[in-house]
Amino acid sequence: MSIIRAIVRLLCLLSVALVFIGIGFWLRTIYIRRPVLHKRHLSEFTCRWAKCICRILNIRVQIQGEARKSAGVLIVANHVGSPDIFVLGSCFNTFFLSMHDVADWPVAGTLARLGHTVFVDRSRKHQVKDNINNIADRLRNGFHVALFPEGQATDGSHVLPFKTSHFEAAVLAARPVLPVAIRYLDKNCPSIACWTGTAFAVHFIRLLTNSVLEVEVCILPEISSELGRRELALESYSAIRAELCRDN
C-alpha cells in the first residue's frame, strides 16, 4: 500500500510542478513591465502551490495565532526539514530565502527561480549585502519574506541560535519581524519531517510513503524593527524557543 501511495503522490507532485512552472513562465511574460504586480501574483500562487503540496502529502496544518499580519513582514521560523517550506508557504503569501545550491536542483530549482526565491551563498559576503537590500525592497513594497535563520535543519528537539545578518533587512525597511514556531506532532523521534543526518532521497521517500503528518504552526507576536538586527534575532529566537519548550 505504501508503495502505491508513494507512486501516486510522486505523479501528483510532478503534475503540480509542471502546472506551476507553466504558470510561472506565463506570469513572467504578461507582467514583464510590471514587476510589483508580478511579485504580488507570484506570492499568491506560491501559497496555492504550497497548499497543493500539503494536500498531496497529507500534511495537516493547524494554525495557532492570527495569520493575517501587517503588510511586508520578515517571517522567521525554526527549521526541521523540507516540509517546513510547504507548511509555512501554505500559511502566508510569501517569498523565501534559500541556500544557493537549491537553484540547481531539477524541477525544484526551476520552481524556486520562477518564484523569485532569494538565493544565499554565505561564502560570498558581497552577495549577502545584495540579498539584504533585495529583501528590504520587497518588505517596503508590502511583500512578506520568510527565512530559517538557524542556517540549517535540526531534529526538532531544540532551536539553534539565529544568524543575524538578514534581520538587517527588517531594520532597513522599518518593517516588523514575525516569529513562527513549527512543531511536528507525529510520534516518530525525530519527526518524519526531519532530514538531519539523512540523505535527501531517503527523506523524500519517507514523506511519500508516510500516511499523514500533523503539524502545528504557532504565529507569535510581531517584533518591532526599532531594535537592531542582533536584538531582533535574539528576541525572535527566544520567542520561538519558549513556544517549542512550552509543552516539553
- What pLDDT shows up at residue 49? 95
| DSSP label at residue 124 | -
pLDDT at 3 over 80: yes
Q: Identify the sign of the CA torsion 30, 33, 37, 39.
A: positive
Pairwise CA distance, residues 229 & 174, whole Å: 11
pTM: 0.93
The pLDDT mean for the chain works out to 89
**Confidence tier at 187 by pLDDT (50, 70, 90):** confident
Contact 147, 76 (CB under 8 A): yes
Residue 247 is predicted with a pLDDT of: 62
Cell numbers at 193, concatenated = 519531517
Q: What is the pLDDT of residue 69?
A: 66
**DSSP-assigned states of every residue in 47-103:** HHHHHHHHHHTTEEEEEES-S---SS-EEEE---STHHHHHHHHHS-EEEEEEGGGG
Estimate the crossing angle of helix 83-91 against helix 35-56, to 10 degrees. 120
Cα 195 to Cα 43: distance, rounded to the nearest angstrom: 26
pLDDT tens digits for range 9-23: 999 999 999 999 999
Judge whether residue 48 has pLDDT over 80: yes
**Predicted confidence (pLDDT) at residue 216 exceeds the cutoff of 90:** yes
